[in-house]
Amino acid sequence: MRISLYSQKEALFQRQRQRLFAPLFSLFTRVNITPLFLTAVGLLCGLIAAILVPFHLRWSAIFLLLHLLFDMMDGSYARYEKTASDKGAFLDIASDMIVILALALALIFTRALHPVIGAAFLFVYLVLVIFLIARNQMNIPAPFSLRMRPVFYVTFFVFVLFEINPLSLVLGLATAIMTIGCIADAYAIHQKLS
């Protein structure tokens, strides 16, 4: 079983995304672009987004959108090319974690995100991702799926576009919800190992 954050239920969405991008993937194949290259470009765009936070929030948001676009394509393209691997999945997950870390640190640095809430969010998010990977590797079905990365990004876009700052409030609530998810995941893993 491949390293993944996605449940079997989400495979349908992955196939639809692969069909949507198929014409672009065909072009990528002809010019020898690899899925790993897409991951690297996505990571670079995400890091640029984080670097731009103190200087220009709108440009930061544009680079974050580019990061998300490349992140949506890399795994789908690997499956399209039939080159999906644990190495690629690990690099994709690591890239996502690095961008979230960098963006959260930039928001803390600019005082847009309370440092305690930001640190708690990052820690609990990391634990949740580790538990999700463990659940998938151990074939433990999740009764529901916590996807806090989109919550983080949507909250950031609200902050940028509407010039209101819900970051600390929303990420504080997200941290509380993720903590409950982590406890449930730890219990499910413990039960499977017992």
Q: Domains in the chain, please, with CATH?
A: 8-193 (1.20.120.1760)
Do 155 and 171 form a contact (C-beta atoms < 8 A)?
yes
pLDDT tens-digit readout, 47-82:
999 999 999 999 999 999 999 999 989 988 988 898
pTM for this model (two decimals): 0.87
* 177/167 Cα distance (integer angstroms): 15
What average pLDDT does this structure show over 188-193?
91
* 141/79 Cα distance (integer angstroms): 23
Q: What are phi and psi of 190, to 5 degrees?
A: -60, -45
What average pLDDT does this structure show over 30-55?
96
CA 94 to chain centre: 9
In percent, the amount of the chain with pLDDT more than 70 equals 91
pLDDT for the residue numbered 2? 54
pLDDT for the residue numbered 109? 97
In percent, the amount of the chain with pLDDT more than 90 equals 62
State the DSSP string of the chain.
----S--GGGHHHHHHHHHHHHHHHHHHHHTT--HHHHHHHHHHHHHHHHHHTTT-HHHHHHHHHHHHHHHHHHHHHHHHHT---HHHHHHHHHHHHHHHHHHHHHHHHTTSS-HHHHHHHHHHHHHHHHHHHHHHHTT---SS---HHHHHHHHHHHHHHH----HHHHHHHHHHHHHHHHHHHHHHHHHHH-
For residue 3, pLDDT beyond 60: no
Phi-psi region of 5 (alpha: psi -120 to 50; beta: other; left: phi over 0): alpha
- Residue of 41, 34, 144 whose CA lies nearest to 99: 41
The pLDDT mean for the chain works out to 89
Q: Is the sign of the CA dihedral 7, 101, 34, 69 positive or negative?
A: positive
